[in-house]
Structure 1
Amino acid sequence: MKNLLLQNISKHITLTSQEEELVLNAFESDSFKAKTVVIKPGDEAHFTYFVLKGILRSYTIDDNGAIHILSFAVPGWWVADMYSYLTEKPAILYIDVMEDCEVLILQRSHAERLFNEVPKLERFFRILTENNLISNQQRILDKMSLTAEERYEKFLKKHTDIINCLPQKNIASYIGVTPEFFSKMKSNLLRKK
């Protein structure tokens, strides 16, 4: 399973076998059952997860109790409360397990050590951060300029591998609509086809 991590890294940089060993030794393995909240606001979350199996989601809850999903993480993806990870302040997000999962955990302090031991890893994480920034910027622009139907279509294209694993209310939250609106919208889309 750790090969998935090395495959993910090899998309952007090439490691020697010695460097691969250093990387693998820096991570801890863990597994969680579905519905486990692994991070909540106020936690010290100075680490990032690399998903080997299962699905996690990151989200916030507003004052009215509505959930606003920021991301889903499936095998081969990373998830973290980046605010806590980068600032070393308490978390502001929830991260929970939607489907039993296995993860690799990288503590920020271990990442810093790795950057000294394997400097090209800084490039790898810079690329991940840039890709995340681009994705979040596009999502904000989509929210401002696309209809809910168009956002749903983009979601379907991006997440074809997990669409059937997600409850409809989570998809609704991710695209920024209520479950009721989503249900009506989906019915209208089906009628059009």
Structure 2
Amino acid sequence: MPKFYYIARNRAGVKETGIEESLTQEDAVVKIQAKGLIVVNVIPEGSEAFGDPTVDAALRVRLKPKHGRVTHEDLMLFCRQLSTLIGAGVTILMSLEIISKQVASRKLYDVSVDLKKNMETGLSFHEALAAHPKVFSDLWINLVESGEASGNLAVVLSRLAAYLEKEAAFRNKLISALVYPVILTLVGLGA
């Protein structure tokens, strides 16, 4: 039976590693989660951890320029995708790998890759997020930490995504509500 090396965290957030025998990688993830662990990474025996670096280099060509910041919409999409992938049983590291290949923002791509690298060195997800204070607020970091501690990271990320979506909708309504009075004021001053 194939063996899979895994990195996971228990409910206290302590890193645990081990070997799980299973027919598929998905079955290994299910078995590890059944032990009450949050799966960070599952690697088939004898394989490389993740992809080819030339793929990442080719991907950078299609990304937006690096300058600027990560937009609110980018973070909303990142959070929603991460929530969906983790909820489907995909490991955090694999989720970050998948998302980094889909983002259009070069800055968010760099952040995703850095998050993955930091987690591979043994940092928890919230610690990796804390390394990017200009991108992830204290709310993000603290909610992710509570999700890791409770074992409900997918649920927490889903609620965070819903919050970000409501915040964006409110921001758009506020801007729309302010545009009309500004136009009337400008027209009134011009007349």
TM-score range, shorter-chain basis?
under 0.3
Computing the radius of gyration over CA atoms, which structure comes out larger, 1 or 2?
2
Q: How does the TM-score come out when normalised to structure 2?
A: 0.28
Q: How does the TM-score come out when normalised to structure 1?
A: 0.27
Higher helix share: 2
